[in-house]
Amino acid sequence: MAKKALTWLTYLSVLAATYLVFMWVPNEKVMGPVQKIFYFHVAAAWVGFFAFLIVFLCGVAYLVTRAEKWDLYGASSAEIGVLFTTIVLITGPIWARPTWNAWWTWDPRLTTTLVLWFIYLAYLMVRTSFPEPEKRMRFSAIFGIIGFIDVPIVWFSIRWWRTIHPVVVDGSGFAMSSKMLTTLLVSLVAFTLLYLYLLTTRVAVARIDNQIQRIKEAVLR
Amino acid sequence: MSYYNQIRVLVWKDLASEFRSKEMLNSMLIFALLTTVIFSFAFDPEADTVKKVFPGVIWVALCFAGILGLNRSFQGEKSNDCFMGLLLCTPDPGVVYLGKLFSNLIFMLIIELISLPILFLLFDYRLQGSLGWLVLVIALGTWGFIAIGTFLSALAMNTKNSELLLPVILFPLLIPLLIAAVKATGLILGGGDFASWSNWLGIICSFDLIFTVVSWFLFDYVLEV
Amino acid sequence: MLKAKGIVKQVGPKTILQGINLEIRAGECVAILGPNGAGKSTLLKILATLMKPSAGIVYLDGKDAWKSPEQVRGNIGLISHQSLLYDNLTARENLLFYGKMLGLNDLDQRVSQLLKEVGLLLSANEQVRNFSRGMQQRLALARAILHNPPLLFLDEPFTGLDQQGIGLLNNLIGQAKTKGTTLIMVTHSFEEGLAFSDRVLVLNKGGLVYTGETKELTITGLRDLYCEKTGVKTS
């Protein structure tokens, strides 16, 4: 029931966000239509960070309770987080090219996202490296915790690193109108719902996967 | 059976077995020097670029050499199931972490003591800032590298291809430390005053502190069978 | 001395041990038998505090072994089919290392005495990597009893031993029994199991299917029982 409601809510909010972005919100004066990618870019970045926070919390919960479900949620959240940071890393250059005349700038936000992307790819590597389920769950929980603790240090170091270099472009270089802000907020809500929808679906798939493993075990015994 | 004594015995054991063969130290040292030589081919060593890339060269060479050592760090414990014997001797696996941290730190400091002077010679680099601060920053940077490296090495030890896994999971986490260490080293080498790099020292120190404490705390979970 | 209550070990989807209850008196010698995959080694590791059970508690001298490991670990000796020795260290250094880790007194004397007992005094300063398998096993025995542990775990201890090693191990077990050491041995051999134990336990598929006093058993009796309880034929 709840799942059905979530599915519909996600569907409608994504639809609404798409409508607002493409039909309703005015073009930005200087950048033109390309600036519309901003709404998805920022929303994807938010989901990425949020997903990694969930990985951290699930890691702690797993180590304390040793309940398999926390591992499932953590793993699924990490996969979705990597997916959305990948979207950020793709939409970023698409936006950057026409506006800043360069595919990539070592802007603190973009760079931090890149480092995060590597950290959580490493998390996924840890998961595939341990065939024994108990070790996989334990070590990925540990790495999820360590990785997230690194995030603020990454952010500060990269920000200072970039401010000491001459800052070529300022990422927040335009003022938002109220229509733009509304659109951004709706996209944020839509993407968060999309995240929750993907998470629950992924966990359901993982559960079925585990059940199949158990049945296999039982049959082979 | 005090905590401190057990750490000391562990370090003594690691040093004794390494100094018998010196296999690991030799290959770390050669690798550090090789990395530097390759760098000097990549960047023209005569030109002004050297001044700019030198701090980076130092840290890249140290990290590459260090990862060789970290890969080997727990191999000795793994063969013959020594870990079990070790765990039966100590109620607290944190001892094992600190013991390994100190022995890895000593190995790294030995490598640095030999390779860094050679690096300065090869690049004909003249130090403008204070040697004391340089030593401090390099020591603290190495500490952070080893603190998290030892921890992840213990984690990676549990898989067959730990050599493949360790660099991939270690380097992303090291990025803030590397940025800070390279920056601070560069500023000190160029004779910058304390205020210009104290920020970076702050990052290095917080990295060291956070990851030593967190690793020490989480080590129980890594060793648990 | 040792009490286990409701020990469950789950590894992912597999249940290795499903609720083991047992009590072992001080000075008792217990043999644990069972077919491959029955969970013998896992049970031994859990009893020796080397592995955490998914559920259940191990009590050593009435104390929860996981809550007060500092009072427990130093009292345990372990002989496994792995040697637990460092290849790069010499025989003497290995023993000195473990002795120092355990904080033993009069260590030098104890180490020399043990090396003599296992016949390795002449090669005491040689690296373990150069030892033959038999020599390594003998040194492993010395290592296990270095601190005169009141509780000794043996995991398939006879596997890979040479004749001299078998003699030494028999000796060691005999000595330990007279000293009142509690012995817990995992083995697949009925002869070994019966020869040393006061009590025999049979594990099958993670459950304790039989426990009986050794003096009431004969080898053939045990064989029949084993076959009946586990469905595994032995001849």
Each residue's pLDDT tens digit, C122-161: 888 999 999 888 888 889 989 988 888 888 999 888 877 7
The encoded tokens of residue C132 equal 């033959």
Residues of chain B whose pLDDT is less than 70? 1, 47, 225
Q: How far is A219 from chain C (nearest CA, A)?
A: 12
Give B44's DSSP letter.
-
With beta carbons under 8 A apart, name residues in chain C contacting A206.
none
Domain annotation covers residue A194:
yes
Contact A146 B218 (CB under 8 A): yes
Q: Pick B81's closest partner by Cβ from C48, C84, C127.
A: C84
User: Can you name the residues that pair with A93 across neighbouring β-strands?
Assistant: none
The pLDDT value given to residue B40: 82
Q: Distance (Å, rounded) from C-alpha C126 to C-alpha C87?
A: 10
- What gap in Å lies between CA B211 and CA B201, rounded to an integer? 15
Q: What are phi and psi of C98, to 5 degrees?
A: -65, -40
pLDDT score for A166: 45
Please tell me which chains touch A, using 3 or more CB pairs under 8 Å as the contact test.
B, C
Q: What pLDDT was estimated at residue A167?
A: 46
Which chains would you list as touching C if contact means 3+ CB atom pairs under 8 Å? A, B
Mutate to test the interface with C, among A69, A217, A219, A220 (most CBs of C within 10 A): A217
Chain B residue numbers touching A119 (CB-CB < 8 A): 172-173
Residues from chain B that touch C86, judged by Cβ atoms under 8 A, are 13, 17, 76, 80, 82
Q: Give domain status of residue A105, yes or no.
A: yes
Average pLDDT, chain C: 84
> ∠ at Cα B171 (B193, B175), nearest 5°?
30
CB–CB contact B159 A138 (8 Å) = no
In chain C, which residue's Cα lies nearest the Cα of A133?
C12
Q: Which of C13, C54, C205 is the closest to A214 by Cβ?
A: C13
Does the residue A174 lie in any domain? no
Chain C closest-CA separation from residue B31 CA (Å): 23
Strand C63-64's sheet: what is its strand order? Answer: C14-24, C2-11, C55-60, C63-64
Domain boundaries, chain B: 3-222
Substitution target from C42, C50, C128 for chain B, most B beta carbons within 10 A? C50
Sort strands C14-24 and C182-186 into parallel, antiparallel or unpaired. unpaired
8 A C-beta contact, residue C218 and residue C195? no
Q: What tens digit of pLDDT does each residue of C73-118 get?
A: 778 889 888 889 998 899 999 999 999 988 888 888 999 999 998 8
Q: Is residue A216 part of a domain?
A: yes
Number of domains in chain A: 1
Instruction: Out of A54-63, A77-86, C182-191, C219-228, pick the least confident.
Output: C219-228
A27: Cα within 13 Å, side-chain hemisphere: 6
d(CA B21, nearest CA chain A) in Å: 31
Query: Which residues have a Cβ under 8 Å from the Cβ of B37 and sit 6 or more positions away?
Result: B122
User: Percent helix, strand, coil in chain A (nearest 5)?
Assistant: 85, 0, 15
| Interface pTM, i.e. ipTM | 0.90
What is the Cα–Cα distance from B128 to B125, expressed in whole angstroms? Answer: 9
Q: How far is the C-alpha of B60 from the C-alpha of B67, rounded, in Å?
A: 11
**Cβ-defined contact of C12 to A66 (cutoff 8 Å):** no
Q: How many helices (H) and strands (E) does chain C have?
A: 8, 10
CA distance B32 to A75: 37
Residue A55: which domain range?
2-26+36-163+180-220
In a domain, A125, yes or no: yes
Residues of chain A with pLDDT under 50: 165-170
Considering CB atoms only, which of B5, B21, B85 is closest to C88? B21
